[in-house]
Structure 1
């Protein structure tokens, strides 16, 4: 992976005991989820080996969902490559939807088999998962038996957990008591919303589940809770630093004698020692940390940057900064100028101008700009105003749509387009036959069932047509729209394949063909289904190869990251902010409207049920408002970017 930095100065966060004074649970922060998962897998493997030497069994409590899958991958690797045996392991899974057939694609039985059990030598009789196939009247007895089996096995040695946005552990929703045991529960609406994409709609998500209780979890000898991504950062902070309360069940873990949170840097980003380290201990001040602290103080006090005083800094733990730099006025001016220089109406660089204080260089002009869009609408949703500005200012703009986006099209759209096609080509027997087959398939299709290859193709064509329409509206030439259809995505299901050399090669070839002076890509790693993350990883690997191959154009290429539909960059991290006027904001929304299959209701709305244009407008106007409150000029809206530098 390409090594990246946000600025010439990296922030060194305090790691001593004093810096953790707000944390009520032992919290281990790792560079990324891969390293954190390896750490957890090693913890489990070491205890398995230790128990084997002692001739004893190990009882594991296991979780499902996307969070633990990498840890399970490492355990499988340890088994296959290092001979780690699971014959002495007994497992108890946390939960299961109810009702749920074991062979359903949504079943946790199937999940565990596919991710772990089918690949190791665990004895089948040692696997225990709540039974979603029971008759309702048999559930209570099953739950009592489940508790007894755990006790008979000697109790759980290590319990693996994830954490939901409501703070639920297992399916123990807000309101669960500390003494609750394995039982049938009703799922919170937020939990069901988070699962809706996997079930192809909220209406298909079960309303109930069988789950171990909080009391069952708390009885485990050791607990490891894992969390990845910025989307979990707020609830992680609540669980680790907040008061214990039933409305956030994860806070009960503060009372466990041997509980650890293992998280990545993104999930840790709201912890006090990470987000505001000057509040917990002395800091090693550098340019980036000074900027972050000053902007935080300005927003905290609702004061423009240039109005901050020595007393303001001293009151909020930044007396050492005043001592080092000299005065509030001097700090204010430095940060004010830094922030002002991020603002530019010329995202491709302003020709014939002094570019020494601008985010983008003036030459060459015009530039060739390549915008990578993970889905067929991310370009206009996330940086539509900047895209329009680049076109208006005469740059050669290319857009690379990395995936087909076909799973995000409702079945009704397929019928609508085929109705139109058969009307246009009335009497075309082949088309009529195809339409009949498609209609019959969709009539009997069950929720979550994978579309036939024919329907996947039609849905991909619908998204492609909408993307081309948006390109035409924005002034991007049709021949400059590149539809990569990266293979990792083309499964027809929410779950994707790991990316391969083929995905990287396609991206490598496109980059080398276009030879851009600017690359724009989605750095929105909070995308709930991981597509953005994989798409960015593919770009990084392609760039690594280009750098290794010493292609002549790569040294003169700037690489900018935008955020997607889920959230915006922190202003302290933004290195280019492009103002959008009222007219261009309307043009941006109109470009988003070209994606009709995503209008009114999206297949995968995530945790925000607003339309994408509403999210984009709110995010862009909020960025402009915050810049204005910091003392900058007042703009209608702004799009923010972070520059990544590759070796």
Structure 2
């Protein structure tokens, strides 16, 4: 198979297991793709090839299947191949890894529901060939049930192929830290982090079951072939620990190091912490591009605790970068890097009028720019770039804010009930009373009615207006796009569609911006940010021939979960203490997202606290590198289309 390298030199081909050359750091074969979509298609192709080979010799194909967000695209591609290419599942027998306990099959959070929704309802697999752990098994029956599940796998000849995801605890299936390498199918108590990660789907951690039934480590390891999927920056640390660490029950996925036919299929984010990607100069010789040199110098400063201009030849030589010194001496390297970072700092995010912009991140002309800030949810604008937003308005640019989704699902029933009751008190109505009755009688894991969703969306709109008015923006420049992909009433969203893209294209074409700001935070736990960014990319792609697009720059910001690496930052906007406070008050306008937000991940702090720490940390890192010290900084990367 031909090796394919991305523009940074990362191998993104899907190589057969025998061709992988292990570094002294890596103990598991892994391949990295530019994005999870292409990676998922390649995995689906491997599964399809296996199914067809088994069909050709009249044998069943026994698949071990996973749930969660990671394999969804794989299942979508398998369904497409069934419908468009005639791939038959008539000879497929499946065994799912796990199920929550207790859990009804009809519950939309059950893995039984998940597998039928994403795969089984759309292909020709015989129902008797589908095996999913029973979430209603009683305590007295569970031991015999688990033994029977193991026996059924063996009676079918064992697993030909096992598909896995990985949790942030290092669990595979629900084999949490402490699981033994010889463990079989059993009941297990879920780790707190696992329950936190599942909380968005259950609308709060209190609704997440505390136990599950899962295949064991030994069951998984007995599969003839194993493929583990890992997507996004939030999986990068555990991927590194699994691939490069020692085998330990505290990271159960490390037991896969003992398997002779396993591949980790990763996207760039998930593979970003691997030594060959993060610090390739420690692995072997490098092609020292400008980007890699910048990355290495920033890393070296952190390793030595020195500022850029203080690094010596010895520091380079002692840390695997002697070959870089053969290209350029340390003095020139240090000066170039210092100047590069210094030139990213600007108090004029829209460009400084009547100034030499040769070394500035933004153009001086036109002095007054048309700007669109795309915000996936109705608070990402002020959380992620509230200081920059304020600067753009103060400096006289024509700023537009576009909220891509309604954000209604993030409003709690308690908050919606409060507004409905206030409305009904002021002006009693049947509509308000119906909403109140609907919320009070709502059963666990049921969808909001359309009226409740509209109320929750109106709450988010009112809060958004409060924040944009506080920053001095006219209401006419605030746009609520309510992209259709989001409006399902559930955590599970639709795929991006033509209607979504048409809405985006229409707004961009109407404003004809010189600048677009969009959320590039792909570590967002709910994935909405990625879909919203894809909508921006697709809309700009379709408009690329329009004359105004030649002068339109796209700047990416990040949200409350993740920040750009210092060496990647291309514009850093400093904030004074008073601006930090002003940004905080703008975030406070989003009252429904304060005091116990529904989807906050494993960080119990409110968004303003997290983002202030992040902005302060960015400023501190600039200071540590020897640059000017500010109270806080917001960071951006310019996205350049090919």
Same fold (TM over 0.5): yes
Residue segments in structure 1 that go unaligned for 5+ positions in a row? 1-8
Q: TM-score, normalised by structure 1?
A: 0.96
CA RMSD of aligned residues (A): 1.3
Alpha-carbon distance in 2 for matches of 1:588, 1:137: 56
Residues 10-43 of structure 1: CA deviation (Å, up to 9, x unaligned): 5324799667331100001111111111111111
Given the alignment, which residue of 487, 492, 500 partners 1:503? 500
Does residue 215 of the first structure (1) align with residue 218 of the second (2)? yes
Q: Which residue of 2 aligns with 1:318?
A: 321
Contact 1:19 1:281 in 2 (8 A): no
- Partner of 1:167, secondary structure, is coil
Q: Which residue of 2 aligns with 1:574?
A: 569
Does residue 439 of the first structure (1) align with residue 429 of the second (2)? no
Alpha-carbon distance in 1 for matches of 2:116, 2:445: 19
Alpha-carbon distance in 2 for matches of 1:12, 1:91: 38
Alpha-carbon distance in 1 for matches of 2:519, 2:572: 15
- Partner of 2:517, secondary structure, is strand
Does residue 452 of the first structure (1) align with residue 445 of the second (2)? no
Q: Which residue of 2 aligns with 1:94?
A: 97
Given the alignment, which residue of 344, 347, 369 partners 1:345? 347
Residues 132-177 of structure 1: CA deviation (Å, up to 9, x unaligned): 0122211111111001101111111111100000000000000101
Alpha-carbon distance in 1 for matches of 2:224, 2:546: 55
Contact 1:230 1:266 in 2 (8 A): yes
Whose relative contact order is higher, 1 or 2, with alpha carbons under 8 Å and at least 6 apart?
1
- Partner of 2:516, secondary structure, is strand
Alpha-carbon distance in 1 for matches of 2:37, 2:169: 24
Contact 1:18 1:281 in 2 (8 A): no
Alpha-carbon distance in 2 for matches of 1:423, 1:625: 50
Within a 5 Å distance, the mapping from 1:203-242 to structure 2 comes to: 203-242=206-245
Report how far residue 393 of structure 1 moved.
1.3
Report how far residue 402 of structure 1 moved.
0.4
Q: Which residue of 1 aligns with 2:116?
A: 113
Report how far residue 555 of structure 1 moved.
0.5
Report how far residue 420 of structure 1 moved.
2.0
Contact 1:14 1:273 in 2 (8 A): no
- Partner of 2:55, secondary structure, is helix
Contact 1:60 1:92 in 2 (8 A): yes
Alpha-carbon distance in 2 for matches of 1:478, 1:605: 29
Alpha-carbon distance in 2 for matches of 1:45, 1:10: 30
Does residue 43 of the first structure (1) align with residue 40 of the second (2)? no
Deviates more, 1:412-421 or 1:192-201: 412-421
Report how far residue 645 of structure 1 moved.
1.4
Q: Which residue of 2 aligns with 1:202?
A: 205
Alpha-carbon distance in 2 for matches of 1:55, 1:445: 51
Residue segments in structure 2 that go unaligned for 5+ positions in a row? 1-5, 13-18
Contact 1:13 1:277 in 2 (8 A): no
Alpha-carbon distance in 2 for matches of 1:520, 1:506: 17
Alpha-carbon distance in 2 for matches of 1:444, 1:101: 20
Alpha-carbon distance in 2 for matches of 1:31, 1:11: 10
Does residue 365 of the first structure (1) align with residue 367 of the second (2)? yes
Does residue 285 of the first structure (1) align with residue 280 of the second (2)? no
Does residue 583 of the first structure (1) align with residue 578 of the second (2)? yes
Alpha-carbon distance in 1 for matches of 2:479, 2:603: 29
Q: Which residue of 1 aligns with 2:15?
A: none
- Partner of 1:196, secondary structure, is helix
Q: Which residue of 1 aligns with 2:385?
A: 383
- Partner of 2:626, secondary structure, is coil
Given the alignment, which residue of 517, 522, 525 partners 1:520? 517
Given the alignment, which residue of 595, 600, 605 partners 1:605? 600
Given the alignment, which residue of 182, 189, 193 partners 1:190? 193
Q: Which residue of 2 aligns with 1:6?
A: none
Q: Which residue of 1 aligns with 2:67?
A: 64
Does residue 486 of the first structure (1) align with residue 488 of the second (2)? no
Does residue 33 of the first structure (1) align with residue 39 of the second (2)? no
Contact 1:233 1:266 in 2 (8 A): yes
- Partner of 1:59, secondary structure, is strand
- Partner of 1:457, secondary structure, is helix
Q: Which residue of 2 aligns with 1:4?
A: none
Alpha-carbon distance in 1 for matches of 2:405, 2:574: 29
Q: Which residue of 1 aligns with 2:131?
A: 128
Contact 2:574 2:633 in 1 (8 A): yes
Given the alignment, which residue of 243, 258, 263 partners 2:266? 263
Q: Which residue of 1 aligns with 2:624?
A: 629
Q: Which residue of 1 aligns with 2:641?
A: 646
Within a 5 Å distance, the mapping from 1:295-334 to structure 2 comes to: 295-325=298-328, 327-334=329-336
Contact 1:518 1:559 in 2 (8 A): yes
Within a 5 Å distance, the mapping from 1:462-473 to structure 2 comes to: 462-473=459-470
- Partner of 2:507, secondary structure, is helix
Alpha-carbon distance in 2 for matches of 1:445, 1:208: 25
Alpha-carbon distance in 2 for matches of 1:621, 1:282: 36
- Partner of 1:137, secondary structure, is coil
Alpha carbons of structure 1 residues 231 and 145: separation in structure 2 relative to 1, 3 Å: same
Deviates more, 1:73-82 or 1:164-173: 73-82
- Partner of 2:64, secondary structure, is strand
Alpha carbons of structure 1 residues 17 and 419: separation in structure 2 relative to 1, 3 Å: closer
Contact 1:309 1:328 in 2 (8 A): yes
Alpha-carbon distance in 1 for matches of 2:67, 2:419: 38
Residues 455-474 of structure 1: CA deviation (Å, up to 9, x unaligned): 00000000000000000001
Report how far residue 105 of structure 1 moved.
0.4
Alpha carbons of structure 1 residues 59 and 574: separation in structure 2 relative to 1, 3 Å: same
- Partner of 1:482, secondary structure, is strand
Within a 5 Å distance, the mapping from 1:163-182 to structure 2 comes to: 163-182=166-185
Contact 1:19 1:273 in 2 (8 A): no
Contact 2:104 2:110 in 1 (8 A): yes
Q: Which residue of 1 aligns with 2:472?
A: 475
Residues 468-526 of structure 1: CA deviation (Å, up to 9, x unaligned): 00000011111110000001000110100111111101110100111111100000111
Report how far residue 530 of structure 1 moved.
1.1
Q: Which residue of 1 aligns with 2:403?
A: 401
Deviates more, 1:74-83 or 1:615-624: 74-83
